[in-house]
Structure formats: C-alpha cells, structure tokens
Chains A and B, each alone.
Chain A
Amino acid sequence: MSPSLETAANPENLRRVAIDPVSRVEGHGKVTILLDDKNRVHQVRLHIVEFRGFEKFIQGRPYWEVPVMVQRLCGICPVSHHLAASKALDAIVGAKQLTPTAEKNRRLMHYGQILQSHALHFFHLCSPDLLFGFDSDVSKRNIVGIAEKYPDTARRGILLRKFGQEVIRHTAGKRIHGTGAVPGGVNKSLSIAERDELLRDIYQMVAWSREAVHMVKELHHKNPELYNSFGAFRANYMSMVGFDGSLDLYHGRLRARDESGTVLFDDVDYRNYTQLIEEEVKNWSYMKFPYLKSLGKEKGWYRVGPMSRIQNCDFISTPLAEIERREFMAYSGVMPMHAPLGYHWTRMIEMLHAAEMIKDLLHDDDITGKELMVTGERGFEGVGVIEAPRGTLIHHYRVDENDLVTMCNLIVSTTHNNQAMNEAVRRVATQYLHGHEITEGLLNHIEVAVRAFDPCLSCATHALGKMPLEVEVLDEAGNRLSSLSRSGDGLFSAS
C-alpha cells in the first residue's frame, strides 16, 4: 500500500469505486478509491472535474467590470469574489483608504455573506449527517428529513440564510450577483428604511446563531471519540488576521502556524503573497495544489477556513463569539484541533460573530452615510484578499494604461484546502473502508470528510491553459495499450 495513498504502486489489478458526484457540496467533484480483492485501500483521490476559465477571459476587459464579472465564479459566495476584486482594484483607482461609510457597507455585505453561507452549509448540507448519523437511512439524510424530524432547526437554518441574503440585497442590490462594491468604494449606502428593516430581526439572528454553536458543541461533547478523530490529520494552517490580531474576515495581514500551533509567519502584507505561496499542478485534478514555499511541496501544504481562522487569531472582537472561541480553544487543549469535524464548530462561531458584527454595524451611523467613493493616484497592479466563508481568497490583477486587464490570478479558498481534503478522505478511507465490504453508508463517510471543509469546487477550478490531461487507450480486456499525458506546463509525454 502506498504510504500516502495518493498513487497506488500497481493500479492495474485493483477495483475502482467512484463517488461521482460528491453530493451536498458546491460544484462538482468525485472521489475515486482503488481497492484490492480483500477491500484493502490502495489509492484515494478527490478529483475536481469542473472546468472554468475566468483568469483568461477577464483579460482584455475594462477593470471596473471585473468585480461584477468574477463574482459569477460562484452562486453561493459571489460576494467574496465581488469584494476581493474590489479591494484589489481599489489600488488601481488609488483609493488607499476608503470612506468609513464605504468600508462599513462592504463589511456589512461580507458579514451577510458569511452568515448566509455558513447557515446554508451547516443546516442544509451537513446537519443531516450530524443529526441522523453518517450511515443513517439515505432517504432521510437530507434537509427534507431534517425538516420532518427537527422542524425548528430546519426553519432557523432557512431564516438565518434568508436574513444573510437580505443583508446582501440591501447592500448589493440583489441577493445574488449584485453590484454594491465598485473600485474606490460602494455605489450605495444603507438607507434608513433598509437599516430599520434589518434591525427588526438581527437580535433573533444573534440568538439563533448562538444556539447553533451550542448544538455543534454538544455533538462534540456527546461523542468525542468520533468528533476528535474522524479523518483527523495534522497540518499547517493559514488565515488573514486583523492588524490587532483579532478575527477579521475583511482586512488584515497573513499569519500561518505549523501543526503544533507555532507561528510560521505573521504580520505579512498580503500583497506579497507570491513570495509565500506556490501552486503545484497534478495531472489527475483540475484544481491546483498550493503550498508554502518556505516548507516545500511535501510539507508546505496547509488548511484554511473557519478552523484555521478561529485557532489562528488572538481574540474575537464581539463578546458572544469570543466566549465560544475560548471554550473551543479550551476543548482542543494545548495542541490545535486537527479533526475535520471541528470545522462545523468553528464555522458556527464565525456565524455568531457575523451576526454580532451585523448588529453593531446597523447601529453605526456611518452605515447610512453619504460619502461613498474616493480616488487617488492611478495604479496599475492590485492584490485583494478577503476571508471568504471557505477560507483565504486572493485576487490579483494588472491593468494597462488604457484601463484593460492584462493579468489575473485567483487563488480561491477551496484550492488552498485541496491537499488537506485529499488527506482527510485518505484518513477516512483507512479508518473506515480498509478491509470492509463497501456500502453506501461507508462511502458517505468519505463525503462527510469532504463536506466538513465546505468546498466550493466550481470556484476552485478557474484556471485555463494549465489543464493537465491523461488519455489511455485500452484493449477489450481493459489492458492499457498506450497513454498520452499533458502536464500542467503543457508538455506531452507518451508511453
């Protein structure tokens, strides 16, 4: 058996089991498992089978179109792309410091996005696994089953998501794919009526978010053996933190820690991300594999997202979420939490933080201010980073003197987690599938591990022109006659 389980030593005589597509995640992906005749696992891979091309076709377009165009990468968290692009393009229009009204309205939009995306992921996609069991009746293991057995939970999930979408609608004009942020600021601020409408419900949202944290926390306390070990693997982790070390999902500096929680780097200006991160292309997935340059390909891969952020920051600025963060940190002990199911707990802490931040912003007079835009000295290159619901999102553009985009590089949250997700499914395959007869329930264990990361597979497959390919010619008996492969560099090799 290959120690890494990434590539089997002798795949020819192995049986292939595929989970295609992985369900209850955003976008399309598949997991393939190679087993021998005794059901021993020899290879496990999470493949991303979607293909996009945003980095290429954004070239030659006017820069002010970019925040609206690139958000079409995704229908779940388009706000993240909208804001990351706007932040990058602020540098193009010379907006070094936005007006308080502009920044606060952008933040409000972002926290609405965090709230709705986290609610969607937990209640709609994952609660069936957690509340019914990983190998429970598949016909009930869905949001409809939750609505039947736990109607209050389902209702709260739906209303939390709806509230987050309303925040987005009031700040961006539409629930999905709006236009609120523009390079240099925003095109609208909250009206008094919009603010008051949101204020009516926000206290309920804070309360429900807090109860959601408690629900996940209870699951951990009730079954620590499962929650602390399921798919657990040790890894580095990275996120943006505020300039004061707080959890800040909109702006700050980059910080990374190793698997024991020791700081690898801190206080790094995200505009220098290329000095930190390199991306590797593998010929069996459309998604690239980023790693920290300083540690190299083998040891440099890392996790991003809620579990990284909560354990990476020094504190949370909102009181209720801070109480929950402390409890989580106390639970995980001296060493950081590495078990993927910890993502759910930390995701709900972030949802509570987002609800509290929305409440605070609605009480801030700047949110209805009239100073929306600033401009300054024209720039030609910009990097924007935001902590999207699924993790660190990097947008990087160059623009020529005629205002057209000449270069675009996107490193999206799910891409950072590529290796980590592969590690998680390999651990689960080893823990639960190895040597056992494969059943639907066992295969769902693999999907549970993938879902914990809340991957957005459509966002993560944005590259064009770097598509690795592998073509095999087989005879009638399935024996390989020849093969042709193209690497990420575009080089062909035949065998």
Chain B
Amino acid sequence: MNKDVTFALSSAGVGESVARGQLDRGGVAMNKNNSPTFTLDGKTIPFSAGQTIIQAAMATGVYIPHLCYNPEFKPHGSCKLCTVKADGRHTSSCTHQAQDGMVVESDTKEINDERRALLQMLFVEGNHFCPSCEKSGNCQLQATAYEMNMMSPHFDHFFPDRPLDASHPDYLLDFNRCILCSLCVRASRDVDGKNVFALSGRGIKSHLIVNAKSGRLADTGFSGEDKAAHVCPVGVILKKRVGFAIPIGSRSFDEQPISATPHPGPAAATLPPHPQGACPVGPRSNAATLPPHPTVKGA
C-alpha cells in the first residue's frame, strides 16, 4: 500500500477540519501514549495525525459500514455508507480527518436506518440477483446489507437494461451489479496506470464505461494481472469460467460477517494474492480461519 496515496487528502473540507481541530481542541484528550483521541459511540479511539475517522476506527477494530472505501486507495466519499455524525454533523468518515476530542456517532438507529435506505436504493438501481450471482458470499454489498439487517429492497426496482461485456477472453463485465464505487477506476488509473475504466453520465444516468473506442473490454489493455481486476466489491469484474468454484461454507462471508472481516482476502484460489498491509482489521484471508479445502483442479 502506498500510504502517501491513501493519506494525501487534499479536499478543502478535510483541511478546514484539521485547522479547526488544532485551534479548538489541540491537546484536549490525549491517551496514555500521548496520541490524540476521539470518541466513537462512546469508545475512545486513538489516532495519529492525518488519519481519517474510518482509518482510526478500523485500526482499533471498530467497524464502520462502507462500500467505496478501500484502505488501499485514495478515499472517494461517494457511497455515503460510512456516514457518521461528527460533533452532531453528518460527514463521510472516509474523508473526514479525525480530530482530537471529537464526538462521533456511528452505530445508532438513526444512522443505520439511513445506511439501510442507501443500500436499498443501490439494490433497486441495479439488477442484483444474489440467488444466481457467483459473487454471492463474497460480495461486500450483500454482506453489508446483511450487516444492516436489510430484509427487503423496500423501493420499486428500476430493472435497468445493462448488457454484459463478455468480449475479453478471460474477464467478464456484468454492469448490472455496478454500484459506482469507482474502485476499478482508481485502481486502473492510480496503480495500473492504464485508465481502463471511468464513470460517465450524471446523476441517475451515471454508469461505468470502458476506455476503448468500441466500448469493449477486449479492446483495452486490461489484464488479469491488473489491480483493477481484483478490487470490485460486487460482481461486476469477474474472472471467466471459475464461477461457483468455491463451495458454500468457504466463501468470504460464510464464516464471519463483514463487520469482522471488512476486507477479506480473496477466498478463491483463483485470485492472485492480495497485497499486504492494507487492512488492519481482522484476518487478511479466509485461509487463516477456515479449514483447508481440496484444491480445485482446472478451475
């Protein structure tokens, strides 16, 4: 992980927060190691300079629901699942820097109700059919919905018409499940240096596109070795011909809820090793928690 990338927050909001924290609260609530702290649902959370609320929380083992946030990448602040109340004001915890003495609320009925509504809107805007989705059990959207006790979609489904892109010999794009988290955009741009993906359109018409004249993945420089091939939190970017190779019981969220393993390593033997040092919470891979399973040959 490149910490410079992760921590190089440049938005005006973050800068203002830091300045306000230094002026108003500097040195108010140091812990025994003399690091500054804030409270999250009443629990004291230490942080180091420059850490966002979610980074500090996860470093302490406290889960804040999120989808577009991935500790390996620069925060995007778009999914709003990680919204908390900081000193009484709604803010994205992935972009808001921690401040000394700050009072943060996260796991409250009010905020969780809002998160559930956001999830329900994500479910109805796309075509998320978990029963036949190969990402089921490994999907952060599904796991977060379980975590938030989402029992129904509540809203009318949009049922958008989004054709697949199966042009690439080894990877499939199923746009039906895209939640516009932009992780593939960030990975392709910031890590792979390829700019294969982008978000296009505005508002409800926003959608993921592929950077090729034909619009087909096969006509880009995309490769299975790319970071972008392995960051999708839902079932959009899929390695072909290996779906359902992981039996039920061995998938990422079969054993533990997402709150225990927010960013599990690849459960599949089919995926390359996940870069180390990204997420400080929970085991990096299911391999550490599940009994060994027979190797799937030819998958």
Contacts and interface: CB of A to CB of B under 8 A. Distances in A.
Chain A interface SS verdict (over half): loop
B166 A403 contact: yes
B78 to A, nearest CB: 28
A173 B166 contact: no
A187 B243 CA distance: 10
A178 B132 contact: no
Interface in A173-199: 173-174, 177-180, 182, 184-185, 187-189
A375 interface: yes
A402 B166 contact: yes
B178 interface: no
B297 A64 contact: no
A373 interface: yes
A66 to B, nearest CB: 9
B244 A179 contact: yes
A64 B134 contact: yes
A280 B38 CA distance: 73
Contacts, number: 79
B134 A65 contact: yes
B135 to A, nearest CB: 11
Nearest to B172: A62
Contacts of B167: 402
Chain B interface SS verdict (over half): loop
Given A62-B240, A64-B243, A404-B166, A72 B131 contact: yes
Interface string B260-299: 0000000000000000000000000000000001111111
A283 B164 CA distance: 35
Interface size class of A (residues with CB under 8 A): 20 to 34
A433 B159 CA distance: 49
B5 interface: no
A188 B243 contact: no
Interface string B45-69: 0000000000000000000000000
A64 B296 contact: no
A68 interface: yes
Interface in B215-252: 238, 240-250
Contacts of A64: 134, 240-244
Interface size class of B (residues with CB under 8 A): 20 to 34
Nearest to B169: A402
Contacts of B240: 62, 64, 403
B42 interface: no
A284 B256 CA distance: 51
Contacts of B249: 173
A372 interface: yes
B298 A184 contact: yes
A173 B295 contact: no
Interface of B: 131-134, 163-164, 166-167, 172, 238, 240-250, 293-299
Interface of A: 60-62, 64-65, 67-69, 72, 93, 172-174, 177-180, 182, 184-185, 187-189, 370-375, 402-404
9 contacts: A65-B243, A72-B132, A178-B248, A179-B248, A182-B244, A182-B299, A185-B298, A187-B244, A403-B166
